[in-house]
Structure 1
Amino acid sequence: MLNPNLSLYPDSVDPWTPSNSKGILHGASREIFMSGNRSLFIENQDSTVVTQSNWSQTYTGPMPAPGSTVELAAFVKGENIRDLTAGGRIFIAFKVLPINRSAYAVFDFQGDVDWVLLKATLENFPEEAESIQVTLNVPTLTLGKVYFDEINLTAK
């Protein structure tokens, strides 16, 4: 994966791209980060905004060896998080395409939370893989600000 600590380019977080979620703010923070010089964030302060939101990247480079274990790890931090659905959870995920096999890790928290490491693991990586889509997700009706940093995809 490219740009795991979001500091590869001075004025860009490429190849990370935000979803087109109206009413939700996507950005890069130079004040709050784990390493490098910035983190990604998703912020929703409006309880009438009812859409989920994410940052994503699609990796098309050399694929992990068939049969290997692939792990997505990311640090997540939350400020004033409120889940208005009593069930929505912030999560990281990756999907292997075109096979459509996926793995995800969920973080269920409310209020303020300092950096926490999330890991999503997929065993027995498929031979037919052509790309891997990674997403950093904030679900529908989640208020507050969520930061993501040190986003790494590794094969073992």
Structure 2
Amino acid sequence: MNRISVRLADWIKDNSDIRHIRDAVFVAEQHIPPELEFDAEDPQAVHFLALEGDYPIGTARLLADGTIGRISVLKDWRGLKVGDALMHAVIAEAQARDLKQQTLSAQVHATPFYERLGFKVVSEEFLEAGIPHVEMVRESCDLA
């Protein structure tokens, strides 16, 4: 396997790669309707692409208010620390933008992953697109 890298993505230029990953993970695997997966926040968001060599394998986005979302890694690359690489890049970008607090809506099964990155559960469990989630928050002073 080549080295995994993460770079800032351009919503227009990298749109097909971002859509391919999010379609595979959220729409095909998790049966989230495409109209819920892609929204009006996408064009203004800061997007990230994880790559193995030149091949896009993961994506995430950061909103202007510090909300992190749409974190997704293609199935064949899970368990290889791609999610860690994506999240470290997103957190670093949030801090560079002086976003002192990062928030996300985590699928319940993924909460231990986010807790390792300094996020804390701040809500009761709720359903989002039919999947159990919790809200999580990370302060910039927390370890990444």
Which TM-score bucket, shorter chain as reference?
0.3 to 0.5
With the length of structure 1 as denominator, give the TM-score of the two structures. 0.32
- Which structure has the larger Rg? 1
Higher helix share: 2
TM-score by length of structure 2 reads 0.34
Higher strand share: 1
